[in-house]
């Protein structure tokens, strides 16, 4: 009866493995699959199960061994430093480096001189090497020969082994072996087990009628056990959130546009009336692309209007930035730092109202990674051009977008941006973090409208998608949107409002 009680929660396969281990007493786990005809991965699962039941002990052993590399095989007779020192000794103890290179070859001499100096065998003065002493590297060469196929290291040889590894003359390999030892409890249980043991999960009419129930173990049924959770395939929560934002924008009558990641500074900054000496255009903040400069003349009259706006304003009551605008700087290629570059570019080609467009895509900045910043992230930019559009209507649209994506607490604060006036910053409340900025917005200033070639008011905004997602999901760290642990993502549910 004791045996039966102990076996109630042990699978038949685990019992078979336990009895086999009891016969072998102590054996490498790598050999058990052959004896039991069980795959290695399956065996390891059962061994862990038996270990948890305190029926066996499992010892993990790491074995390191070494093999001589192709370069190491070149030096079985003599290492580079030995060749150099022997050459010097054959020349009376010294020789010009040029002559050594000529006779031994540049590769051997470069390696040999370096190690000769490390071993303090030579001194070099005025391009002449002079031998001081020589200690034969017999053990180094013996180890290279011994490890031609495979070898293990003795403790006293580890200093030389590490040197040969550092030089790339030996390569280290590692194997893991598991050794199993049965515990006294395991031995006792295994000795009482019958050779053939049948465990069933439910009784049948035949089992009862034939009396078979007397010789089997009925597996207990746990009524408190929960069924396994099934996680069907789904999109990443951030991808779901972006889809939801798109749906909100479509419902408000907006059309989506696309643009390139790599663009000239002209669109990222100059077209937005951002001065060429603005701190945001510094190399420490913007990611430059190693490439030829863009051909700006392809953009037609926009380039000339940008130059005029920067130098003198181009419109009444504006003096511009009052410097000589640099065509060369504007033509440098960068990874865009704002998707406003896409909306202003679109506006230069669509100059008559009504215009309602948005873009959701990646932008890149040299921001340090922390709870609220990412070096590359998604941004949603949008513009509205209507004949009677104004700042109050812009705030109304922004509130509609916020409510549409589920931001419960949203507030506005006066702000400053080089390309909008008036400007506003939008803040969302996140529990555990507080108020964080999620977008900037405003009315395109007259100089930007002049650059774009439009004569009607335009409202614009840029929103950080990940920060909006933080507010909707109640996350206090933006990095939780990109976790290593998939279980974190499974708990994120994007609400549909």
- Residue 49 token pair: 């199960």
* Cα dihedral sign, 408-414-417-422: positive
Q: pLDDT at residue 371 above 70?
A: yes
- Given a cut of 60, is residue 6 above it in pLDDT? no
At 9, is the pLDDT very low, low, confident or very high (cuts 50, 70, 90)?
A: low
Separation between Cα atoms, residue 9 and residue 84, nearest integer Å: 71
CATH number of 2-59+175-193: 1.10.10.10
Q: Quick check: helix, strand or coil at residue 350?
A: coil
Among 28-32, 84-88, 166-170, 440-444, name the most confident range: 440-444
Identify which has the larger pLDDT, 231 or 451: 451
Q: Residue 409 has what pLDDT?
A: 84
pLDDT given at position 370: 85
pLDDT, mean over the chain: 86
pLDDT of residue 53: 85
Residue 116: both structure tokens together = 């000769």
What percentage of the chain reaches a pLDDT higher than 90?
38
Checking if the pLDDT of 257 tops 80, the result is yes
The answer regarding whether domain 238-490 maps to CATH 3.90.1300.10 reads no
332/268 Cα distance (integer angstroms): 11
- Beta strand spans in 146-237 (E): 170-182, 199-200, 217-218
- Is the pLDDT assigned to residue 355 strictly greater than 90? yes
pTM (global) more than 0.75: no
Q: Cβ contacts of residue 154 below 8 Å, gap of 6+?
A: none
**Cα–Cα distance measured from residue 258 to residue 372, given in angstroms and rounded to the nearest whole number:** 26
Contact 373, 327 (CB under 8 A): no
How far is Cα 335 from Cα 341, in angstroms, rounded to an integer? 11
Task: Report how far residue 262's alpha carbon sits from residue 272's, in angstroms, rounded to the nearest whole number.
Answer: 17
170 vs 492: CA distance, rounded Å = 49
The sign of the CA dihedral 73, 74, 75, 76 is: positive
The region of weakest confidence among 2-16, 136-150, 315-329, 372-386 is 2-16
DSSP letters spanning 253-265? T-EE----SEEEH
Band (pLDDT 50/70/90 cuts) for residue 390 is very high
The answer to whether 101 and 202 are in contact (CB under 8 A) is: no
Across the beta sheet with 94-96, what order do the strands follow? 94-96, 128-131, 122-125
φ, ψ of residue 267 in degrees (nearest 5): -80, -35
**Confidence band, pLDDT 50/70/90 cuts, at residue 26:** low
Q: How far is CA 227 from CA 46, 109, 224, in A?
A: 21, 70, 10
How large is the average pLDDT for residues 182-211?
Answer: 77
Mean pLDDT, residues 163-192: 84
**Residue 325 is encoded by which pair of tokens?**
């605008």
**Residue-wise pLDDT tens digits, 217-233:** 677 777 788 888 888 88
State the pLDDT at residue 201: 73
Bridge-based pairing of strands 420-430 and 434-444 is: antiparallel
CA-closest candidate to residue 454, choices 355, 354, 351: 351
* Domain spans, the chain: 2-59+175-193, 68-173, 194-225, 238-490
Instruction: Please say if the pLDDT value at position 5 is more than 50.
Output: no
pLDDT at 4: 45
Task: For residues 22 and 181, give the distance between their C-alpha atoms in angstroms, rounded to a whole number.
Answer: 9
Q: Which residues face 383 on adjacent strands?
A: 357, 460
Residue 417 bridge partners (DSSP): 420
- Distance from C-alpha of 184 to C-alpha of 46, rounded to nearest angstrom: 18
End-to-end CA distance of the chain: 61
DSSP 8-state secondary structure symbol assigned to residue 482: S
């Amino acid at each position: 009866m004791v045996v039966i009680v102990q076996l109630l929660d042990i699978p038949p396969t685990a019992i078979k493995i336990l009895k086999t281990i009891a016969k072998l007493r102590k054996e490498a786990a790598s050999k058990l699959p052959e004896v039991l005809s069980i795959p290695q991965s399956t065996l390891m699962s059962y061994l862990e199960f038996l270990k948890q039941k305190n029926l066996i002990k499992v010892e993990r052993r790491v074995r390191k061994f070494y093999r001589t590399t192709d370069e190491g095989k070149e030096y079985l007779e003599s290492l580079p430093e030995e060749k150099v020192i022997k050459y010097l000794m054959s020349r009376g103890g010294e020789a010009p480096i040029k002559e050594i290179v000529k006779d031994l070859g540049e590769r051997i001499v470069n390696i040999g001189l370096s190690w000769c100096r490390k071993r303090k065998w030579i001194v070099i003065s005025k391009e002449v090497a002079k031998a001081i002493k020589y200690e034969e590297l017999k053990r180094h060469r013996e180890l290279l020969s011994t490890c031609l196929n495979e070898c293990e290291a003795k403790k006293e040889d580890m200093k030389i082994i590490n040197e040969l590894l550092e030089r790339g003359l030996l390569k280290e390999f590692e194997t893991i072996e598991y050794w199993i030892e049965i515990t006294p409890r395991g031995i006792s249980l295994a000795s009482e087990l019958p050779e053939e043991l049948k465990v069933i999960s439910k009784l049948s009419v035949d089992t009862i009628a034939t009396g078979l129930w007397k010789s089997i173990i009925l597996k207990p049924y746990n009524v408190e056990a929960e069924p396994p959770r099934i996680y069907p395939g789904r999109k990443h929560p951030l991808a779901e959130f972006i889809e939801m934002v798109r749906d909100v924008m479509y419902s408000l009558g907006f059309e989506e546009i696309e643009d390139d990641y790599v663009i000239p500074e002209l669109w990222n900054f100059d077209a937005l009336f951002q001065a060429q000496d603005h701190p945001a255009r510094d190399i420490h903040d913007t990611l430059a692309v190693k490439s030829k400069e863009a051909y700006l003349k392809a953009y037609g009259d926009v380039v000339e209007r940008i130059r005029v706006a920067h130098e003198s304003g181009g419109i009444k009551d504006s003096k511009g930035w009052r410097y000589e605008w640099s065509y060369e700087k504007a033509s440098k290629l960068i990874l865009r730092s704002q998707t406003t570059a896409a909306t202003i570019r679109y506006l230069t080609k669509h100059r008559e109202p009504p215009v309602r467009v948005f873009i959701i895509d990646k932008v890149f900045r040299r921001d340090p990674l922390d709870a609220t910043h990412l070096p590359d992230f998604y941004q949603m930019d949008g513009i509205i051009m209507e004949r009677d559009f104004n700042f109050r209507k812009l705030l109304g649209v922004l509130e509609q977008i916020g409510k549409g994506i589920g931001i419960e607490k949203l507030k506005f604060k006066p702000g400053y941006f080089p390309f909008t006036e008036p400007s506003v910053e939008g803040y969302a409340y996140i529990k555990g973090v507080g108020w964080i900025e999620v977008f900037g917005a405003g009315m395109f200033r007259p100089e930007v409208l002049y650059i774009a070639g439009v004569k009607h008011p335009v409202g614009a905004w840029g929103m950080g998608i990940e920060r909006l997602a933080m507010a909707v999901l109640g996350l206090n760290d933006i990095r939780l949107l990109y976790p290593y642990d998939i279980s974190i993502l499974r708990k994120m549910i994007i609400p549909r409002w």
